[in-house]
Amino acid sequence: MNNFEPKIVGFLCNWCSYRGADLAGTSRLTYAPNLRVIRVMCSGRIEPLFVIKAFKEGADGVLICGCHPGDCHYSEGNYKVMRRVPPLKKMLEQFGIEPERLRVEWVSAAEGERFAEIVNDFTRKISELGPIK
Amino acid sequence: MTQKIGVYICHCGINIAGQVDIEEVVKFASTLKDVAVARDYKFMCSDPGQDLISRDISELGLDRVVVASCSPLMHELTFRRVCAKAGLNPYLFQMANIREHCSWVTADRLKATEKAKVIVSAAVTRVIYHTPLEPQKVAVNPDVLIVGAGIGGIQAALDIANAGKKVYLVEKEPSIGGQMAKLDKTFPTLDCAACILTPKMSQVGQHENITLLSYSEVTDVSGYVGNFKVKVKKKARFVDLAKCSGCGECTKVCPVERYNEFDEGLSSRKAIYIPFPQSVPNKFVIDKSGSSPCRVACPAGVNAQGYIALISQGKFREALEVVRRNIPFVGVCGRVCNHPCEIDCERAKVEESISIRALKAFIADYELKAGREKATPVERTKEDKVVIVGAGPAGLACAYDLVRKGYPVTVLEALPMAGGLLHYGIPEYRLPKEVLDNELNYIKELGVEIKTNTPVTDIARLFEQGYKSIFLSTGCQESMKINIPNEDARGVLYALDFLKQVNSGQKVSLGQRVIVIGGGSVAIDCARVATRLGAKEVHLVCLESRDLTCKDRMLAQDMEIEEAEEEGVLIHPCLGAKGILLKDGKVSGLETVICTSVRDESGRFAPKYGQGSAPTINADTIIIAIGQKAVAKDFAEVERLPYGTIKVDATTLQTNIDGVFAGGDVVAGPSDVIACIAAGKEAAISIDRYLSGLDLSEGRPRVIERVKEVPKERVSPQPRAMMPLLGLKERRDSFAEVALGFDEKTAMEEAKRCLNCAACSECLECVKVCEPKAINHEMQDEMVEIDVGSIIVTTGLVPFDPTPLVQYGYGRFDNVYTSLEFERLNHAAGPTGGKILLKDGKEPKSVAIIHCAGSRDENYHPYCSRVCCMYSLKFGHLLREKVPDAQIYEFYIDMRCFGKKYEEFYGRMLKEDIRFIRGRAAEVLDFTIYKSELGKLVIQCEDTLIGKIRRIPVDMVILSVALEARNDARQVAKLFSISQDADGFFIERHPKLDPVRTMTDGVFIAGCCQGPKDIPDTVAQAQAAAACALSMISKGVMEIEPITSRIDEKRCAGCRTCEAMCPYSAIEYKTEDKVCQINEAICKGCGSCAAVCPAGAITSHHFTREQIMAEVEGVVI
């Protein structure tokens, strides 16, 4: 399992999380290279289908990042995605995909360090889980 | 569909190339589907790099472009422009971020190269699905909103206004000026802050292009760049700006002293005030923070804070006037009210509540002793006659309010004397007849006609007599029975009859031993009257407990119970009456039973009795005082409830008959004086509305906002004034009043304990002296809507409160000051007139200035506040100037004197004999070891330059506190869609290259809301923000990103799921077509609607489902 390099798809909102990821970059914080970022304007844009598609294409984990509750650039998009995730996790479970492979985190534009920590932690967890059986 | 995609990989010098094998990525890119060309270049964003792309577009006929370089937030716009210039729609471009998200964050070169390939692959698969988009062009409204009028806001406003454009300048405080207005001198030039600021402030006040909205707050922002709609709440100032001449007569008579925030609390100001002499606008404002708890608690709404404030100033007659605005019974309520006001008094949270009731009695007695002038009758302005049945407190309060409204009012009373239970129920030792009569006369003098000995029982008769409205306030006249054996025997009296006889001057013989049954005020009164009538033994038997803290406590007031016991009344609590024993057909004693519980969980009267031995008490007379009820037989037309009380509407007090109202005990059952008065007042409102043809219930009951928080930190405890009482012997022998009342000095001292919870006490003294009639206490907040094209946020900072730095003793030691406090101390217009003085009025001979209080400290603020070193140096200089022989110490970590002429200023201070000690001061102590430290504060620190621990005794300590984000910064950020950093400061678009724009187009920031900075930097940013706004205005048109959503009406099923998703209400349901439509001018493109559309009818432009799905495919390879 040591050679397993998980593929993780990250959906990041444009205003907080993408900027948080940029800040991690400008601060030269190194973190696991497994995350592949897809930018959306708001985490509220994320359809369950996107997540399912990612797993279908071979992703080992999906990370959704948005602004902290109450801080959404579009007032409440993050609450909308928050509501979509629990049923989606249930559905993934029925597909035989462990629900822990989908994670939602709030990362502000000022939290570069936190972003790097989240990526590292999530990568570690997914590595432990191994590939989807 | 095949496309020709050009892929361009940027080296970014070594930023990308250092960690990513560019050649490999290029090779990989060229293998991807539809890629016509893949190239790399050192700096893609440079001119040659841009030319490379542009040449390929025209020469190779590229129809899609991908640039793999930095973050799109950095250069997406640059490359879009390149495409547009070369004739390719700029939205057929995609950026791959291989710097911030790849080369800079990946340690391993091989892995970084792999990741870069994936990122490029995703961009290529995505760009295939891009469609040409056209940006929307919108006109820019040339008006500008500036929020916050400190030096930053002022400067930006002047720059824009001087360019001929209109500015709305919104300031939360009553005056503009911000923090700079509080400063004395400014570093390094030592200009006087006021001298350089106030001319600008007055320019703002007079500028024809500036609309100043002081004492106002932005509450809502909608719209988009160039076209914002802003709602501003203009807080009620209670002073008409147009009329106020700023003469200051009002402030002289205002009795309320408040913490002066402008002087950092080192002085006080009045509730009506101008923040500082050069305020703009230079007009008064009244500080109101809701209603005081005492006033809210009073059922009749008597303004206790108002009259207490006036008593504290010795204005006793004016105080009396304040009470009489609400109720006629000042002396009465000052004696017998159950004072709910005192129960909710905020002062009780310090030690004990204010003696509100006693103070009220004091002002009534003051007038009575001095002789009351006859009241002038109120002019009759109304025709409709009103009749009130029953001259008790409810009826008379109603009459009082109606006669003052101009109605002809007649009160009909069955008994020979007016006053109801005030006359017939309450004994003279509690309420002297002289006091009651004075107040009854006052009511009569105003024009109320009181006809005694006039019983009425018929509503119709009254209407026949020409009365247009009737108020029934006949009270509860029938005593309740216990229903025990022998209750009708000789020697059994009922409280009401007994008291009525005594109060009418009739002789009552009680015998030697008396038992009173009951635990309320009436029972206590009966017992105490009995002792005064010569009974040798008076027993009081009640169900309730003597423990006044439990749920079953006696209902009488604490003081009454105590006084009764002092006078020898023997209280037997927790006992019920079982039977009355007779001897020769006359009362001989009372059998009792143990009472285990009086009220149930919900507070309802439900007594439970227990077993066990209960005493039998011998007696000659038994007085039953367990309550009264309404006489149900009169006024047959009026609907009653089972207990005989009249049924009324709870809000309007109207009975089942139109125009007939009822209130007081006849409605509520036995209650208390103030509740009855309140009912009378409510009835007066109803009757007035009824006779004026208005709606009875609109806006009732009135909701009064209780003041939320009353600061008590600076309040030192002071005991409540005790009421002096008549000697015990005199009490037992006569009906003389027990409570002797306060003298003037005691009353004023007691009144001064009041915390003035609501700030303005609404005593209305200011209204009396305001010649231009500018004061309006009824003024309401006003909402204004303004349309602007751009917004500049300059909301500034707050100084750090050093209380949590317990080691420095701020708040504990008198002579530890914050820097802003020292600024005020040093200011010519400050609390000491510019003299640097200690709390005891002496000049400090040694001063320590401690740098970095709250800054550069992981526990508080990790950042450097940037101004503290410099202002600390300035303090050193000012101290040297004002106290030439003082020892001045500066405790610093590093000296940061980075600005123009700052280092030079430091150099100058080094020559002014200021001792610089390098090392963070560890502690400020008040215990001394050496003689030289006696009476001083000792700074304990490590002098790192000599490597020694030192103890330095000083007279005064100044903490150079950090600057921090305002506590409402979060709300402001949300309002204007600005992001905040971890310290709460607003984030600019780019830290170096775009310092005043924010991520929201058309919203700019300047000054300390963006981060701590000094005045020159704030002014420079303000001017930059003004320039940005002006450039938008001069362009006249803004392009809005076409990233919005659209609904395909053919596919829309009209389910309206999307409608609920939209935070901007941009989606509208068209009823005739049964489909939804998006207003793209309002849509901000979050795409939440597209995510939920079950029909897939919504396209979120540039973030379509196809594009994102393709990107997913590209990213997982």
- Please give the Cα distance from B995 to B1010 (Å, whole number): 9
> Residue B536: CB partners within 8 Å, gap ≥ 6?
B512, B513
Q: Measured between CB atoms, does A75 come within 8 Å of chain B? A: yes
Does A101 touch chain B if contact means CB atoms closer than 8 Å?
no
Are A9 and B1087 inside 8 Å of each other by CB?
A: no
Residue in chain A lying closest to B1085 (CA):
A41
- Which one, of B720, B209, B696, B758, lies nearest residue B469 by Cα? B696
User: Which chain B residues are closer than 8 Å to A109 by Cβ?
Assistant: 979, 981, 987
Q: Which residues of A touch B1115 (CB under 8 A)?
A: 9, 36, 38, 54
Burial class (CB in 10 A: 0-12, 13-18, 19+), B880: middle
Which residue of B107, B115, B1103 is in closest CB contact with A45?
Answer: B1103
Copy the structure tokens of residue B386. 């009103």
Within 8 A of A16 by CB-CB distance, chain B residues are: 979
Structure tokens at B1001: 């187009």
CA distance B199 to B336: 59
Which helix (H) or strand (E) is B125 found in, with range?
A: helix B109-127
Query: Which tokens is B612 given?
Result: 């066990």
In angstroms, what separates the C-alpha of A122 from chain B's closest C-alpha? 16
Look up residue B197 and give its DSSP letter.
H
Centre a 10 Å sphere on the Cβ of residue B1053 and count the other Cβ atoms it contains: 13
B17 CA to chain A: closest CA distance, Å? Answer: 15
CB contact under 8 A, B1086 and A41: yes
Nearest partner of A31 among B25, B651, B106, judged by Cα: B106
Mean pLDDT, chain B cut into blocks of 10 residues (1117 residues total): 89 95 96 96 95 96 96 93 96 96 96 96 96 92 97 98 97 96 94 93 96 97 92 97 94 94 93 94 94 95 96 95 96 94 94 96 95 93 96 97 97 95 94 96 96 92 95 92 89 93 90 93 94 93 91 90 93 93 91 91 88 90 92 86 90 95 93 94 97 94 88 88 91 90 96 95 95 95 97 97 96 95 94 92 96 96 96 96 95 95 95 94 92 92 94 96 95 90 90 90 96 97 98 93 92 93 89 92 90 94 96 92
Angstroms from A60 CA to nearest CA on chain B: 10
- Contact A91/B at CB under 8 A: no
Question: Quick check: A30 contacting B, CB < 8 Å?
Answer: yes
Contact B100 A22 (CB under 8 A): yes
- Note whether B1109 contacts A50, CB cutoff 8 Å: yes
Taking the CA of residue B35 and the nearest CA in chain A, the distance in Å comes to: 21
Place of tokens 């809701």: B290
Chain A: closest CA distance from residue B1091 (Å): 5
| Distance, CA of B1100 to CA of B1047 (rounded, Å) | 9
Chain A: nearest CA to B1054, how far in angstroms?
20
Report how far Cα B795 is from the mean position of its chain's Cα atoms.
Answer: 20
Chain A residues whose beta carbon lies within 8 Å of the beta carbon of residue B1092: 80
What is the reported pLDDT for A96? Answer: 94
Sign of CA dihedral B746, B749, B753, B757: positive
Measured between beta carbons, the chain B residues lying within 8 angstroms of A24 are 100, 105
- Sign of the C-alpha dihedral, residues B640, B645, B650, B651? positive
Measured between CA atoms, how close is B1096 to chain A, in angstroms? 11
Spatial contact of B698 and B332, defined as CB atoms under 8 Å apart: no
Strand-pairing partners, residue B1076, are: B1069
Burial of B752 (0-12, 13-18, 19+ CB in 10 A): middle
Closest-approach residue (CA) in chain B for A117: B105
User: Cβ neighbours of residue B728 under 8 Å, at least 6 residues apart?
Assistant: B566, B567
- For residue B222, give how far its alpha carbon lies from the nearest alpha carbon of chain A (Å): 12
Task: Write down how long chain A is.
Answer: 133
Residue in B106, B1108, B1113 nearest the CB of A57: B1113
Instruction: Give me the pLDDT at residue B1, please.
Output: 58
Distance from CA of B792 to the nearest CA of A (A): 18
Q: Judge: A59–B1116 Cβ closer than 8 Å, yes or no.
A: yes
Q: Which residue(s) pair with B69 in the sheet?
A: B97
Query: Interface pTM (ipTM) of the complex?
Result: 0.97
State the best of B126, B1112, B1113, B1117 to mutate against chain A, taking most chain A CBs within 10 Å.
Answer: B1112
Question: How many angstroms away from the CA of A69 is the closest CA of chain B?
Answer: 12
Helix%, strand%, coil% for chain A, nearest 5: 45, 15, 35
Determine the Cα–Cα distance for residues B631 and B626; give it in Å rounded to an integer.
16
> Distances in Å between the alpha carbon of B238 and those of B287, B301, B308, B644?
9, 21, 22, 47
3-state secondary structure of B892: strand
Q: Do B100 and A7 touch (CB under 8 A)?
A: no
Q: Which of A21, A53, A108 has its CB closest to that of B100?
A: A21
Question: Nearest by CB to A21, which of B101, B111, B1116?
Answer: B101
> pLDDT band at residue A1, thresholds of 50, 70 and 90?
very low
A-chain CB neighbours of B118 within 8 Å are: 36
Any chain B CB within 8 A of the CB of A83? no
Choose, out of A36, A88, A102, A114, the residue to mutate when testing the contact with B (most B CBs < 10 Å).
A36
Q: Residue A43 pLDDT more than 50?
A: yes
Residues of A with Cβ-Cβ distance to B75 under 8 angstroms: none
For A77, the closest of B977, B979, B1086 (CB atoms) is B1086
Cβ within 8 Å, pair B1061-A44: yes
**Inter-chain touch A45–B72, beta carbons under 8 Å:** no
Please enumerate in sequence order all residues whose Cβ is within 8 A of that of B923, keeping only pairs 6 or more positions apart, or say none. B807, B808, B939, B940, B941
Three-state secondary-structure class, residue B100: helix
Q: Do A45 and B114 touch (CB under 8 A)?
A: no
User: What's the pTM value of the predicted model, to 2 decimals?
Assistant: 0.83
Q: Are strands B467-472 and B385-389 parallel, antiparallel or unpaired?
A: parallel
Which among A21, A42, A47 is the nearest to B1086, CB-wise? Answer: A42
HSE-CB at A63 with a 13 A cutoff on CA atoms is 30
CB proximity list for B842: less than 8 A, separation 6 or greater: B955
Q: Please say whether the beta carbons of B400 and B406 come within 8 A.
A: no
What is the nearest CA distance from A96 to chain B, expressed in angstroms? 20
Best B21, B71, B100, B118 member to test A by mutation, with max A CBs in 10 Å, is B100
Q: Do B1088 and A57 touch (CB under 8 A)?
A: no
**What is the edge-to-edge ordering of all strands in the sheet holding B210-213?**
B210-213, B167-170, B144-147, B790-793, B1003-1005
Q: Phi and psi at residue B244, in whole multiples of 5°?
A: -60, 130
Nearest to B788 by CA among B374, B11, B167, B233: B167
Please name the residues between 102 and 131 in chain A that touch chain B, using a CB distance below 8 Å.
Answer: 108-111, 116
CB contact, 8 Å: A26 with chain B? yes
**Structure token pair of residue B558:** 């604490």
